[in-house]
Chain A
Amino acid sequence: MIALLTRDMRLAVRAGGGFGLGLAFFLIVVVMVPFGVGPETALLSRIAPGVLWIGALLACLLSLDRIFALDWEDGSLDLLATAPLPMEAIAVVKALAHWLTSALPLVLAAPALGVLLNLPPAGYLWLILSLAVGTPALSVIGTFGAALTVGLKRGGLLLSLLVLPLYVPTLIFGAEVARRGAEGLAVATPLAMLAGISAGAVALLPFASAAVLRINLR
């Protein structure tokens, strides 16, 4: 499993691996929002948590179709399926590699982008925390979507249509944690819901991804 994780991370940071694409996309989206809504700092600080969450979510979506598609194209997925690793472990490792290379940089970059949107000082801790707790769910749900669409030509768009509705609960509670944190309100309830969604997705979805992959490999 560690071998697969290190290989995927190494591939992601080599040329053409797509590392940093999501981060650059996140940066550009967030930088463009003030141009769109105008330079009113009061309005910007109100919408900052939501904009940062939507930006992070879309940036996460960008790299999803690479999770299995590349391995499917060059035949590695067939070979991995005959390797001693169970398919569930492959799904977990792929989701983890996606989280480490795509989502974690977003979590770390979010505070810097918060400054651009005039996020209130109280909000930074909760923004990072909500992203750190919520993005694992995005990666695992995305891996499930990638498993569903593996082998389809131009499956990326279908993948987005399948995955975005499943991202809604994570977005609602994640943005709610960041918003309430920024306004200095209690965050315990949405944070618990967000953590619950992540924990449930991480525990259950790898089994679904593995089942779908087995069917798609036939």
Chain B
Amino acid sequence: MDLTVRNLAVARGGIPVLAGVQFTVSPGRALVLRGPNGSGKTTLLRTVAGLQPPFEGSVTGAEDRIAYAAHADGIKSMLSVTENLSFWARVFGTGEIAPALAAFDLDALRDRLAGNLSAGQKRRLGLARLMVTGRPVWVLDEPTVSLDAASVALFAEAVRAHLAQGGSALMATHIDLGLTEAEPFDVTPFRARPQLSHADEAFL
């Protein structure tokens, strides 16, 4: 099932930031959003994830199929790495956390409290959560922040494996992951025009 976005307009704080966005992400494919800071990538991803309603247009194929990862990893510092992951595995009704630990090289850290992890290790734990959700569509907002080159390679490998299993991914990132399945998608042309009233036009 495709993730389809039709004529989508998204707003942040009541002000439209993107309008007329159209794309489709098929199983096995990834779409990489590009655009300068403040261009509305995060708002677009939150709308696709269902955290905020679309201003206009529609998102189909997203309901209960999305695993969302944002800037914050949602990690409890007083729980161990294993406890954090098992919690999400139980919430999403999947059992196995071992493959996720292995894929993100967290085996050696499994009994460490998450509060004692470095920023990059926390991020890896946050990304490992995606694998235990069992959801087919990954929606990722800057997933590679604070990762070193080796961890970025682990992440790219995890995305590749996910796509090979028929999953799909929609992500905003500035780093080239070297994925052949990924298509870039520039959001700049979809910037919403500032809505001016007639009174303002007289002064232009």
Is B79 an interface residue, CB under 8 A from the partner? yes
* Interface hit among A52-60, A72-80, A146-154: A72-80
* A217 CB contacts on chain B under 8 angstroms: 51-52
Q: Which residue of B lies closest to A79 (CB)?
A: B74
CB distance from A2 to the nearest CB of B (A): 8
B residues less than 8 Å from A82 (CB atoms):
49-51, 66-68
Main secondary structure of the interface of A (DSSP, over half): helix
Tell me if B64 counts as interface (CB < 8 A to partner A): yes
Complex: how many Å from CA A71 to CA B91?
A: 15
Complex contacts, B87 vs chain A, CB 8 Å: 3-4, 7
A7: chain B residues at CB < 8 Å are 76, 79, 83, 87
Whether a CB of chain B sits under 8 angstroms from the CB of A81 is yes
For residue A17, which residues in chain B have a CB less than 8 angstroms away from its CB? 78
Q: Which of B73, B88, B133 sits near A74, CB closer than 8 Å?
A: B73
Query: How far does the Cβ of A119 sit from chain B's closest Cβ, in whole Å?
Result: 38
User: Residues of A within 8 Å of B, CB-based: how many?
Assistant: 25
State whether the Cβ of A83 lies closer than 8 Å to any Cβ in chain B. yes
Bound together, the chains give a CA A7 to CA B75 distance in angstroms of 12
Partner of A83, one of B72, B83, B92: B92
**Which DSSP category, helix, strand, loop or mixed, fits chain B's interface?**
loop
Residues on A with beta carbons closer than 8 Å to the beta carbon of B6: none
Q: Which of A2, A11, A75, A218 contacts B70 (CB 8 A)?
A: A75
What separation, in Å, do the CA atoms of A10 and B189 have in the docked complex? 48
A84 with B64, Cβ < 8 A, contacts A7-B87, A10-B79, A218-B52 known: yes
Expressed in whole angstroms, the Cα–Cα distance for A16 and B76 within the complex equals 12
Q: How far is the CA of A85 from the CA of B74 in the complex (A)?
A: 16
B-contact 0/1 string along A7-31, CB 8 Å cutoff: 1001100111100000000000000
Taken residue by residue from 48 to 72, chain B's Cβ proximity to chain A (1 for < 8 Å, 0 otherwise) reads as 0111110000000000101111111
Report how many residues on chain B are interfacial, defined by Cβ distance under 8 Å. 29
Chain A residues whose C-beta falls within 8 Å of the C-beta of B53 in the assembled complex: 218
Contact A76 B74 (CB under 8 A): yes
Bound together, the chains give a CA A76 to CA B129 distance in angstroms of 12
Q: Does B90 contact A (CB under 8 A)?
A: yes
Determine whether the beta carbon of B90 is less than 8 Å from that of A81: no
The chain B residue with its CB closest to the CB of A12 is B78
Once A217-B51, A217-B52 are accepted as A-B contacts, the answer to whether A74 and B72 lie under 8 Å apart by CB is: yes
Contact check: which of B68, B69, B75, B83 meets A10 at CB < 8 Å? B83
Check B93 for interface membership: any CB of A closer than 8 A: yes
Which listed residue (B51, B72, B78, B93) contacts A81, Cβ 8 A? B51
B84 → A minimal CB distance (Å)? 9
Contact B64 A3 (CB under 8 A): no
Residues from 76 to 103 in A contacting B, C-beta threshold 8 Å: 76, 78-85
A120 to B59, CA, bound (A): 64
Residues of B within 8 A of A14 (CB): 78-79
CA distance A4 to B52 in the complex (A): 23
* Bound CA–CA A75/B73 (angstroms): 6
Q: Which residues of A contact B129 (CB under 8 A)?
A: 79
Not counting A3-B87, A3-B91, A82-B49, a sample of 15 additional A-B residue pairs whose C-beta atoms are within 8 angstroms of each other reads A4-B87, A16-B78, A71-B74, A74-B75, A78-B68, A78-B70, A79-B68, A79-B69, A79-B70, A79-B88, A82-B50, A82-B68, A83-B133, A84-B91, A218-B51
11 contacting pairs across A/B (C-beta < 8 A): A2-B90, A74-B72, A75-B70, A78-B68, A80-B91, A81-B51, A83-B91, A83-B92, A83-B133, A84-B64, A217-B51
Leading 10 A-B pairs by shortest Cβ distance: A75-B72, A3-B90, A76-B74, A14-B78, A75-B74, A218-B52, A79-B74, A82-B68, A7-B87, A83-B91
